[in-house]
Amino acid sequence: MSMISEISSYCSKYSIDEEGQKELLNLLNRSLSIISSEILKKEVKVKNEEKGERVEGSKRYKSRKAEEYAEEHGLSLNDFSISEVSKKDVENKVREMTKLKKDNKLEKKEISKEISKEESKEIKKSKERVICSGINKKGEACKSVGTIKPEGAKKKYCFRHAEDYRSFECDTDSSDEEDEKEEERCLEVEEVKEEEVKEEEELKEEE
């Protein structure tokens, strides 16, 4: 599994929101930059120690242009493993640093894409939510989310109306010619239920 996939899985597993994901991404990028910088410094130090050279004392720029170019790009003699640094050496080091930054940006872009994909999936899931097709005791449409589709049912219901789903559906064939009849029968079922609710309320008031 790639690092990008692991980060996406981590965010999904622990339900990290968008703000948390951005903070995690920034932390990762800063860590990569610091690690890369430390690795380069250690490599220079090791090479110098192997050659028995001092980090500063035995090094110099071959020309004033090389020194100015290095300063312009925030480099010093410590960033080079050779004793005499030319302008070409500085240019090569600048290219190396630019490539490293580019790689970090590409990594950041790939991670952002993965996080965006996860966010899109979550948004799609939220859009797919279906309202319960049941009717409450007041004769009003249920406002709960329909998460259950009983065997044989055509629509989804909340846990309260799932058992009595047959009361809210009509049995018809799937042809287009019967669509209007199905709607009429469904309306009749709803009207009957509303009348029953009203009768129950009237009985309660009389009591």
Residues 65 and 120 in one domain: yes
Task: Pick the last residue of a domain from 103, 127, 151.
Answer: 127
Total of domains in the chain: 2
Element (H, E) at 6: helix 3-13
- pLDDT higher than 70, residue 148: yes
Mean pLDDT of 182-194: 65
Question: Which residue range is the domain that position 141 belongs to?
Answer: 130-207
- pLDDT higher than 80, residue 155: yes
Task: Pick the last residue of a domain from 127, 147, 175.
Answer: 127
Residues 92 and 140 in one domain: no
Please tell me the predicted confidence (pLDDT) of residue 19.
Answer: 80
Please tell me the predicted confidence (pLDDT) of residue 206.
Answer: 63
Residues 7 and 28 in one domain: yes
Please tell me the predicted confidence (pLDDT) of residue 52.
Answer: 46
Residues 108 and 182 in one domain: no
Residues 10 and 105 in one domain: yes
Residues 28 and 13 in one domain: yes
Compute CA distances 34 → 38, 103, 193, whole Å.
6, 14, 69
Residues 100 and 166 in one domain: no
Condensed to tens digits (0 to 9), the pLDDT of residues 40-91 reads: 887 777 666 555 444 445 788 888 888 888 888 888 888 888 888 898 998 8
Of the candidate ranges 64-73, 95-104, 112-121, the one whose mean pLDDT is the lowest: 112-121
Query: Would you place residue 172 in the very low, low, confident or very high pLDDT band (cuts 50, 70, 90)?
Result: low
Task: Pick the last residue of a domain from 110, 127, 144.
Answer: 127
d(CA 13, CA 35): 27
Token pair in block for residue 72: 């312009």
Of residues 21 and 77, more confidence is placed in: 77
- pLDDT higher than 60, residue 173: no
Residues 26 and 40 in one domain: yes
Our CA dihedral for 31, 37, 41, 47, rounded to 10 degrees, sits at 100
Residues 137 and 169 in one domain: yes
Q: Is residue 201 helix, strand or coil? A: helix
